[in-house]
């Protein structure tokens, strides 16, 4: 290679150069007139292939919220992301037809189709009608519009009757409910500070012709903590389980056993927080299931069930599977009798079986009887049978009333008039239910 000079700045340049490196002048002596071609011995390398495209993120069910209220679509466009996909088509069977002339909504809300989300089991198929009817959880506490003592229609704002002057019960001091085919009343009594008796009842099917009528009475054990709550929780849990099992097709004896277990769970769950066995919540329990042909009773403790037949007040024996006529006590008290009290009016007794965390066993005793004629089934606590325990005397008192609601109220008033030493709860259901009051 030889050198020469740039004609403009006289700097040395190579003869093969096309431009001067010092001043940029085009050199006439070099191969400037011909296009530059790379030497054959040094070919240019091929351009590198473009990088592979980055795969798009999988679509999501929702767009990330934009800061400061900025629309999500505008934010995504600014970030260079693809716009959100169109909403999926509305599933079949969910669309609703718009009225004529109405504007279509800007965005259709998707309703979950008629299949369950993954991991959620389908509920069992049920009939179109209600499965069962039951009294409110926590007790049938209603608003009273008249005096419970004299039926006067006016009670002052302090809760006293304007005619007899007596204070009206509040809350659980007096509970009552009437479902037509079964009714019940519970009262605090005249001595106790609170009402630890509880009740729950209901029926399966239609009220005009029920398949089963169910009732439960519980008496909270006074020596235990939260005795009133234990009794009400047991009654509510037992009634719900009993009615549900019957609606599912279980026989009354099996349903009664499962209901007792549910009631026991409700009571034992109250124990804890350092409570010892003496303070463990506990309650008695008696339940009845009445069909068109039989009556099934399950119990623990000394709350009782009676059968009272219409047209006779003779007492009759009642054993499991027997036909009953006249009047009979269907239960046997789970108690041990002690010495007579100082007033000599009744024998003190100690429970040997009950529902509670400190119970030795909570399997119920069950009997099923077949009434020979229409009558009434009565459930009650010792607040009533302590004054009216003889079946024939109970029959004489109850059969003079016109319906279940009037009968239960009359029996509670009988206990209060006799002294009201204890809480009292009474439920009455006519048998058969579709036949009305005997």
Handedness of CA 243, 248, 254, 259 (dihedral sign): negative
Q: What band does 118 get if pLDDT is binned at 50, 70 and 90? A: very low
Range of the domain at 10: 1-28
- Lowest average pLDDT, out of 41-55, 63-77, 331-345, 400-414, goes to 63-77
Look at residue 347 and tell me if it is in a domain: yes
- Residue closest to 173 by CA, chosen among 217, 141, 199: 141
pLDDT of residue 346 exceeding 70, the answer is: no
Higher-pLDDT residue of 118, 332: 332
CB 187 within 8 A of CB 416: yes
Separation CA 15–CA 258 (nearest Å)? 112
Q: What band does 134 get if pLDDT is binned at 50, 70 and 90? A: very high
Domain count, the chain: 2
- Lowest average pLDDT, out of 134-138, 240-244, 337-341, goes to 337-341
The confidence score (pLDDT) of residue 89 equals 47
The confidence score (pLDDT) of residue 177 equals 95
Look at residue 220 and tell me if it is in a domain: yes
C-beta atoms surrounding 45 within 10 Å: 6
Look at residue 49 and tell me if it is in a domain: no
Look at residue 109 and tell me if it is in a domain: no
pLDDT of residue 60 exceeding 80, the answer is: no
pTM of the model: 0.68
- Lowest average pLDDT, out of 85-94, 116-125, 299-308, 403-412, goes to 116-125
* Residue 177, beta-bridge partner list: 184
Q: What band does 53 get if pLDDT is binned at 50, 70 and 90? A: low
C-beta atoms surrounding 241 within 10 Å: 20
Higher-pLDDT residue of 350, 54: 350
Look at residue 401 and tell me if it is in a domain: yes
Compute CA distances 380 → 196, 243, 264, 323, 416, whole Å: 13, 20, 19, 22, 14
Task: Output the domain CATH number for residue 401.
Answer: 3.60.40.10
Q: Which residues contact 48 (CB under 8 A, 6 or more apart)?
A: none
Q: What band does 125 get if pLDDT is binned at 50, 70 and 90? A: very low
* Residue 54, beta-bridge partner list: none
Look at residue 207 and tell me if it is in a domain: yes
How much is the mean pLDDT over the chain?
A: 77
Higher-pLDDT residue of 435, 204: 204
The confidence score (pLDDT) of residue 11 equals 79
pLDDT of residue 353 exceeding 50, the answer is: yes
Considering the chain, what percentage of its residues have pLDDT values greater than 90? 47
Buried b (16+ CB within 10 A) or exposed e, 82-117: eeeeeeeeeeeeeeeeeeeeeeeeeeeeeeeeeeee
Higher-pLDDT residue of 336, 437: 437
- Residue closest to 246 by CA, chosen among 286, 284, 201: 201
The confidence score (pLDDT) of residue 37 equals 41
Instruction: Give me the mean pLDDT over the 303-309 stretch.
Output: 96
Look at residue 202 and tell me if it is in a domain: yes
Helix (H, G, I), strand (E, B) or coil at 405: helix
**Alpha helices in 288-418, H assignment, sequence order:** 382-385, 391-398, 404-417
DSSP 137: T
Separation CA 251–CA 22 (nearest Å)? 112
Instruction: Give me the mean pLDDT over the 11-31 stretch.
Output: 70
- Lowest average pLDDT, out of 47-61, 257-271, 293-307, 389-403, goes to 47-61
DSSP 393: H
Higher-pLDDT residue of 175, 36: 175
Q: What band does 67 get if pLDDT is binned at 50, 70 and 90? A: very low
Look at residue 168 and tell me if it is in a domain: no
CB 299 within 8 A of CB 332: no
pLDDT of residue 217 exceeding 90, the answer is: yes
Instruction: Write out pLDDT tens, residues 162-201.
Output: 678 777 677 789 999 999 999 999 999 999 989 999 999 9
Look-up of token digits 């809760």: 159
- Residue closest to 349 by CA, chosen among 363, 362, 339, 361: 339
């Amino acid at each position: 290679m030889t050198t020469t000079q740039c004609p403009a700045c006289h700097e040395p340049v190579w003869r093969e150069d096309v431009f001067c490196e010092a001043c940029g002048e085009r050199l006439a002596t070099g191969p400037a007139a011909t296009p530059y071609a790379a030497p054959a011995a040094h070919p240019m390398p091929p351009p590198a292939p473009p990088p592979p495209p980055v795969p798009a993120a999988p679509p999501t069910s929702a767009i990330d919220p934009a800061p400061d209220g900025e629309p999500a679509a505008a934010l995504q466009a600014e970030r260079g992301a693809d716009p959100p996909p169109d909403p999926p088509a509305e599933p079949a069977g969910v669309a609703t037809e718009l009225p004529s002339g109405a504007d279509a909504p800007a965005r259709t809300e998707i309703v979950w189709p008629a299949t369950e989300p993954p991991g959620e089991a389908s509920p069992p198929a049920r009939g179109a009608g209600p499965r069962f009817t039951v009294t409110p959880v926590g007790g049938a506490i209603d608003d009273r519009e008249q005096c419970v003592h004299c039926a006067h229609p006016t009670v002052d704002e302090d809760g006293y009757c304007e005619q007899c002057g007596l204070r009206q019960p509040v809350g659980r001091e007096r509970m009552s409910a009437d479902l037509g085919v079964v009714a019940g009343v519970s009262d605090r009594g005249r001595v106790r500070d609170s009402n630890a008796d509880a009740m729950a009842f209901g029926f399966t099917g239609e009220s005009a012709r029920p398949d089963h009528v169910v009732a439960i009475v519980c008496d909270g054990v006074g020596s235990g903590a939260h005795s009133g709550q234990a009794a009400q929780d047991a009654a509510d849990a037992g009634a719900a389980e009993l009615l549900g099992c019957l609606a599912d097709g279980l026989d009354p004896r099996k349903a009664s056993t499962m209901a007792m277990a549910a009631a026991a769970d409700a009571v034992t769950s109250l124990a804890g927080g350092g409570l010892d066995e003496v303070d463990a919540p506990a309650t008695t329990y008696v339940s009845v299931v009445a069909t068109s042909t039989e009556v099934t009773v399950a119990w623990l403790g000394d709350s009782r069930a009676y059968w009272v037949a219409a047209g006779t007040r003779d007492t009759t024996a009642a054993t499991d599977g027997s036909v009953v006529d006249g009047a009979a006590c269907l239960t046997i008290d789970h108690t041990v009798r002690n010495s007579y009290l100082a007033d000599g009016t009744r024998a003190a007794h100690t429970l040997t079986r009950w529902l509670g965390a400190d119970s030795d066993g909570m399997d119920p005793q069950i009997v099923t009887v077949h009434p020979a004629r229409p009558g009434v089934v009565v459930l009650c606590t010792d607040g009533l049978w302590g004054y009216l325990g003889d079946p024939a005397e109970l029959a004489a008192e109850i059969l003079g009333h016109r319906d279940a609601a009037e009968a239960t109220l009359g029996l509670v008033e009988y206990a209060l008039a006799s002294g009201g030493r204890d809480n009292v709860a009474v439920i009455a259901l006519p048998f058969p239910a579709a036949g009305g009051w005997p």
